[in-house]
Amino acid sequence: MPVLPGAEPYRHEGAEVGVLLCHGFTGSPQSLRPWAEHHAAHGLTVSLPLLPGHGTRWEDMQVTGWQDWYAEVDRELRLLGDRCSRVFVAGLSMGGALALRLAARHGDRVAGVVAVNPANRVHGLSAHALPVARHLVRTTRGITSDIARSGAVELGYDRVPLHAAHSLRVFLRRLDGELPRVTQPLLLLRSAHDHVVPAADPARVLSRVSSTDVKEVVLEQSYHVATLDHDADRIFEESLAFIGRLAPSVGKEGTAAVG
């Protein structure tokens, strides 16, 4: 199936410092495109892949699972590592969870993590029924476009395939056990009013990681898709400052200054 207009992956060849951005469940690179372009404009090398099964139609996602989504970002991280001296990982919602797993599994090859409203579990009584319900019902209503800013729209599916939702639940349970292996500097930004990922999820992430260099930022004016919301500029600026603090070589002659 052709990729939906606006859902295409994004890449930019820049300086020796790279950033891998991971989009969320049933979403697409469109939700992170302004963030990617902001970092690219400051000279960074940027990769924003399209996860398998996303950006086309929900039926394509029905036959994918967390192993496919993680394999894609793992591959992109390795490619960035071949190109860049330092690589940071970042993401929104499930993308934040994917970024955290990359950090847990790749150690020093990840210089730092930026997680925006990271998911830690699938919530609700229905989550416990997923192992059976996915064989009886194909989809449930979508979760995209939880945005406070008038006129802003997230490009994603209006239905959630239950096979994929079950796989997400399995992935998040697995990741929770791996979070203590995350030791890298962590910038976590969470929305004060999020209708998709409750505050308990980022709180759980903060309580489980082993990172000692941690900063939490509360986004007061945004809902879940904060990268397209009122606090988007703050996310871009905070993450750029975070990278600049940890990768001072970016400011040297011959590369773009960060911050």
Distance CA 155, CA 136 (A): 27
Residue pLDDT, tens place only, 51-64? 999 999 999 999 99
Q: Report the candidate in 211, 188, 212, 214 with the shortest Cα–Cα distance to residue 201.
A: 188
Q: Check: CB of residue 68 under 8 Å from CB of residue 49.
A: no
Distance CA 119, CA 198 (A): 8
Select the more confidently predicted residue: 232 or 128. Answer: 232
Q: Specify which of 121-130, 225-234, 245-254 reaches the highest per-range mean pLDDT.
A: 225-234
The pTM for the full model equals 0.92
Per-residue pLDDT, averaged over 235-259, amounts to 74
Which residue is associated with the tokens 């990768």?
A: 247
Query: Is residue 258 predicted with pLDDT exceeding 60?
Result: no
pLDDT value, residue 259: 44
Query: Is residue 130 predicted with pLDDT exceeding 90?
Result: no
Q: How many CB atoms lie within 10 A of CB 107?
A: 11
Which residue is associated with the tokens 């998911």?
A: 119
Distance CA 173, CA 182 (A): 15
Distance CA 103, CA 57 (A): 30
Residue pLDDT, tens place only, 21-36? 999 999 999 999 999 9
Q: Report the candidate in 32, 19, 81 with the shortest Cα–Cα distance to residue 244.
A: 19
Catalytic residue list: 93, 194, 224
Residue pLDDT, tens place only, 201-233? 999 999 999 999 999 999 999 999 999 999 999
Task: Output the average pLDDT for the chain.
Answer: 91
